[in-house]
């Protein structure tokens, strides 16, 4: 597996509008998309920094993954996502290496990407996402 670039960095925030306003100032660019991902219980907002995106994540449910994360750890970096080709094959290679997969096969994430997460318990504490552009 050889990711081409960091696709995005996910940042958990409590107040999406306040976070958008801050990142618009910091990055000097407008948020280009806001999207709710219902099955992940989050509302997302995206910025571009070169090839990489910043994905702000606000929870829509305290029992969702971002709601639980903020409750335990507070706001901050939630995950890092790498762009790969051949996501299903990459998952098999990682599983064979003993990495714990959260998603055994790719599923649909924000922006229509095919995505899969690796468990932070087997990635030295960093929730890791792999993303592939759909063909």
**Which residues in this chain contact ligand CMX in the complex, by CB under 6 A?**
10, 37, 40, 42, 44, 55, 57, 65-66, 68-69, 72, 78-79, 102, 109-110, 117, 119-120, 125, 127
Nearer to ligand CMX, 25 or 72 (CB): 72
Please check whether residue 45 is in contact with residue 79, taking contact to mean a CB–CB distance below 8 angstroms: no
C-alpha–C-alpha distance, residues 25 and 20, integer Å = 9
Nearer to ligand CMX, 16 or 57 (CB): 57
C-alpha–C-alpha distance, residues 32 and 60, integer Å = 20
Helix H or strand E segment including 68: helix 65-73
- Residue of minimal Cβ distance to ligand CMX: 65
Nearer to ligand CMX, 24 or 111 (CB): 111
């Amino acid at each position: 597996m050889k990711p081409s670039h960091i696709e995005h960095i996910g940042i958990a925030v409590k107040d999406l509008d306040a976070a958008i306003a801050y990142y618009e100032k910091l990055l000097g660019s407008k948020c280009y998309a806001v999207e709710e991902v219902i099955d992940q219980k989050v509302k997302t907002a995206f910025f571009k920094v070169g090839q990489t995106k910043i994905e702000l994540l606000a929870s829509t449910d305290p029992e969702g993954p971002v709601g639980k994360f903020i409750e335990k750890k507070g706001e901050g970096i939630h995950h890092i996502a790498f762009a790969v080709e051949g996501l299903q094959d990459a998952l098999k290679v990682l599983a064979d290496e003993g990495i714990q997969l959260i998603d055994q096969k790719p599923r649909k994430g924000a922006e229509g990407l095919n995505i899969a997460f690796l468990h932070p318990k087997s990635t030295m504490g960093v929730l890791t996402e792999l993303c592939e552009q759909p063909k």
